[in-house]
């Protein structure tokens, strides 16, 4: 069992409960309380998969594309640059679908993707299959709300990057909810408590979940790549490199000579040499990292990599809940019932100082609610190497009062 960084007691207790049921486990430095398993948790199981471990936003993850365009191509004065960035931000917000239950309204939405003909669909009960199929087609390539975003960055050389963060939307949420119910002896679609459900992959229920989880992974990859490439086209740029990872998923891997199922919930795979894109917040830098290469790692670091189950953080990690940050509002009237600790003015002051063009977002996603990413990465004890530091230029998210059931 390996714990990186410092965590509150509730997170530690959650992690210890997970560890009791797993072969091995690790907690990343961005960890915080989640449903049953903490965000930032990694757990290895023998022939089983944890439904709440993978989570409701199956295959939530990050994708980043390095383009052939540089910052100076957008404007040769600060005023021209800001005008160009503002125009691009508006076009992203108008072109990409953000928010609760949105449909992809683009003419080239990927509704004919091969994943819609995958045999795994047969694992969905016939009476639910068509409706889920329709929902999945409509939402592929939508971003959602919560902490999901589309960003444009510049790296240390001035090269422009596009970064996105979201998962399998309503499709993945439906799969997770259904198997959480089935695992508790209830029917597909029944509402049940968020409890630990470990499914045996050798049994029909585990087999079906695994194949639908895998399909949700394909769905998330297709959606993120479509959105990122759409933004590259808005920039008028060309793709040069793609870095892409899930961080809410399960993989069959070999650790300590044994094949196990590794569940990462808000944790990025980081095998030696493997690339990852890790965001900070709307007002902080992001990074492209690589699992530390053997030739760059001491024996102690290599042992720590193994103890981490070759994983790292997926972001900076929250330090306050959404309600703590933004307060509580009447959903119908918008009236503030309980004030939050972060005001819109505080959020916009931080973002303005950073020079970021922001569209959407709210106090519950302000930089104030997150740890600082460099400190979190340092707490990972040398198990990853930073290759690029990405400075945010544009951040586009859903509006402040959106509530998204499909967030990670």
Largest CA distance in the chain: 64
pLDDT at 407: 44
**In 3D, which of 87, 105, 88 has the Cα closest to residue 96?**
105
Q: Where are the alpha helices (DSSP H) in 7-99?
A: 9-21, 51-54, 78-95
pLDDT at 334: 64
CA-based R_g, the chain, Å: 21
**In 3D, which of 201, 305, 200, 213 has the Cα closest to residue 255?**
305
> 194 and 36 in contact (C-beta within 8 Å)?
yes
Structurally, what CATH architecture does the domain formed by 2-396 represent? Answer: Alpha-Beta Complex (3.90)
d(CA 190, CA 176): 12
Tell me the per-residue pLDDT of 76-126, one tens digit each, with 9 for 90 and over: 999 999 999 999 999 999 999 987 677 888 889 999 999 999 999 999 999
Burial class (CB in 10 A: 0-12, 13-18, 19+), 238: exposed
In residues, how long is the chain? 408
pLDDT at 29: 98
pLDDT at 401: 59
The parts of the chain modelled with pLDDT lower than 50 are: 403-408
pLDDT at 238: 98
Any idea where the domains of the chain sit in the sequence? 2-396
Task: State the average pLDDT for the chain.
Answer: 94
> 326 and 340 in contact (C-beta within 8 Å)?
yes
């Amino acid at each position: 069992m390996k714990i990186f960084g410092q965590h509150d007691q509730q997170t530690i207790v959650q992690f210890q409960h997970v560890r009791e049921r797993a072969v091995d486990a690790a907690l990343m430095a961005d960890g915080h309380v989640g449903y049953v398993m903490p965000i930032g948790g990694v757990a290895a199981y023998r022939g089983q998969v944890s439904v709440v471990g993978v989570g409701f936003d199956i295959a939530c993850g990050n994708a980043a594309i390095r383009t052939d365009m540089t910052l100076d191509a957008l404007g040769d004065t600060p005023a021209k640059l800001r005008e160009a960035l503002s125009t691009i931000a508006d076009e992203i917000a108008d072109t990409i679908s953000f928010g609760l239950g949105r449909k992809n309204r683009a003419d080239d939405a990927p509704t004919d993707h091969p994943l819609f003909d995958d045999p795994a669909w047969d694992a969905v009960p016939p009476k639910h299959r068509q409706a889920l199929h329709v929902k999945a087609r409509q939402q592929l390539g939508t971003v959602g709300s919560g902490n999901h975003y589309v960003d444009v960055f510049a790296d240390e050389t001035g090269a422009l990057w596009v970064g996105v963060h979201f998962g399998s939307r309503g499709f993945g949420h439906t799969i997770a909810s259904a198997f959480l119910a089935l695992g508790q002896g209830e029917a597909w679609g029944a509402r049940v408590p968020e409890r630990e459900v470990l499914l045996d992959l050798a049994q029909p229920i585990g087999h079906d979940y695994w194949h639908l989880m895998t399909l949700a992974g394909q769905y998330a990859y297709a959606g993120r790549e479509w959105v990122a490439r759409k933004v590259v086209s808005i920039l008028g740029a060309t793709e040069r490199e793609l870095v892409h990872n899930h961080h809410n998923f399960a993989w069959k891997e070999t650790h300590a000579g044994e094949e196990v199922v590794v569940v990462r919930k808000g944790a990025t795979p980081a095998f030696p040499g493997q690339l990852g894109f890790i965001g900070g917040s709307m007002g902080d830098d992001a990074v492209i990292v690589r699992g530390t290469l053997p030739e760059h790692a001491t024996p102690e670091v290599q042992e720590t990599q193994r103890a981490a189950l070759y994983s790292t953080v997926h972001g900076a990690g929250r330090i306050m809940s959404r309600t703590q940050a933004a307060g509580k509002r009447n959903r119908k009237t918008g009236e503030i019932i309980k004030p939050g600790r972060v005001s819109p003015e505080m959020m916009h002051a931080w973002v303005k100082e950073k020079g970021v063009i922001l569209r959407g977002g709210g106090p519950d996603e302000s930089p104030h609610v997150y740890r600082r990413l460099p400190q979190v990465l340092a707490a990972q004890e040398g198990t990853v190497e930073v290759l690029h530091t990405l400075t945010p230029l544009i951040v586009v998210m859903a509006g402040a009062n959106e509530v998204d059931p499909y967030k990670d």
